[in-house]
Amino acid sequence: MSDKAFKTLLWFAASIILIITGGMLYSLTSGAIPAFKQFGFFEFLSSSEWNPTEGSEKYGALAFIIGTIITSILGILFCLPFSLPVALFIGEYFKGKKIASLLGTIVDLLAGIPSIVYGLWGFYALRPIIMSLGLSPQGFGILTASPVLGIMIIPYAASLSAEFIRMVPNDLKEGAYSMGATRAEVIQHIILPISGSGIFSSYILALGRALGETMAVTMLIGNANGIPNSIFDTGNTMASIIANQFGEAYGLKLSSLIAVGLLLFLITAIINFIGKLIIKRNNL
C-alpha cells in the first residue's frame, strides 16, 4: 500500500466521526422539525403539556427539562459526600498505596454495573425504605431516582477529582507542613483551592452523565408527565420519557420525542464542552 493510500485510509476513518456526529445532529433536527413547526420552538420548550389524545395532540418538553435538572442536581448532591472523600482518599491520604488502588478498583466496578441493574436494586432495596419513611405512597419519584443516580456517577466524579488532587505539587504542601499546618489545614488551604476548578469540572462532567442516564431513572422516577411539585413528587426526565413512550410513538408524538432527544443531545454536549474547557484551562 502506498503512503498516500494509507494516509487517505486514516483520514477517512477519522472522518467517519465527523459523519456520525454531523449526521446525528442532522437526523435529530430533521426528525424534530415537524414538532417544532406544529408547536413552535419556544412554545415546545416552555409548555409542560403532554397530551397524546388524537385531535387535540399537544406536546411540550418543559416538565421533562425541569425533571431532568432537578433529578440530576439532586443526584450530584447525593454523590458529593461520597465522591469527594473517595477522591481525597485516593489522591491524598493514601496516595499510591495498595488500599487506594483497591478503593479505585471498587469505584471502577461501580461504573461497570449496568444501569438496569441499578434500577432493579433501587426498586427492590431503596423503594421500600422510601415507602416505610412515608415519603411517597408508591415509593416512586425523584427522591427515589436521584440517590441511585448519585451512586451511579460517583466513579466519574471521584476518579477525575482524585487525579486533580494528586497533581497538587508536593513542594506547596511541604511548604505548608513546614510552617506547622495539619493535614486538614493543608487540604483546606492548599489542596482544595489549587485543585478546586479541576474538581468542579469533574462534577460538571458527572452532571453530563447524570442528565442522560436512562434505565435506572426510568424504573424509579414514577413516570408522570407533569412538572414535579416537589422532590417527593413523581416525574419524568428527558431520557425516561423517550424510553417510556418511544415504542408506540408515531407522527407528531414521535417527532416530539425526537425533539426531546435533540434537546438532550444539545444540553449534554454543552455541559461536556464546559467541563472539558475548564479542564483544558487547568492543563490536564
Chain positions 36 to 75 lying near another protein, rule: CB under 8 A, are none
Chain positions 82 to 121 lying near another protein, rule: CB under 8 A, are 82-86, 88-90, 93, 103, 105-110, 112-121
Closest CB 11 distance from another protein, rounded Å: 6
Mark the segment that binds another protein (CB under 8 A) among 7-15, 33-41, 52-60, 136-144.
7-15
Closest CB 48 distance from another protein, rounded Å: 21
CB closer to another protein, 53 vs 268: 268
Mark the segment that binds another protein (CB under 8 A) among 8-16, 166-174, 192-200, 222-230.
8-16
Mark the segment that binds another protein (CB under 8 A) among 54-62, 171-179, 228-236, 264-272.
264-272
Mark the segment that binds another protein (CB under 8 A) among 133-141, 167-175, 205-213, 224-232.
205-213
Closest CB 93 distance from another protein, rounded Å: 6
CB closer to another protein, 52 vs 212: 212
**Binding letters toward another protein, positions 148-187, x by CB under 8 A:** ---x--x---x-----------------------xxxx-x
Single out the residue of 124, 132, 179, 248 in contact with another protein (rule: CB under 8 A). Answer: 124
CA distance 213 to 217: 7
Applying CB under 8 A, does 273 fall inside the site for another protein? yes
CB closer to another protein, 214 vs 234: 214
CA distance 91 to 141: 35
Nearest Cα to Cα of residue 148 among 223, 232, 217: 217
CA distance 46 to 63: 9
| Count of chain residues binding another protein (CB under 8 A) | 87
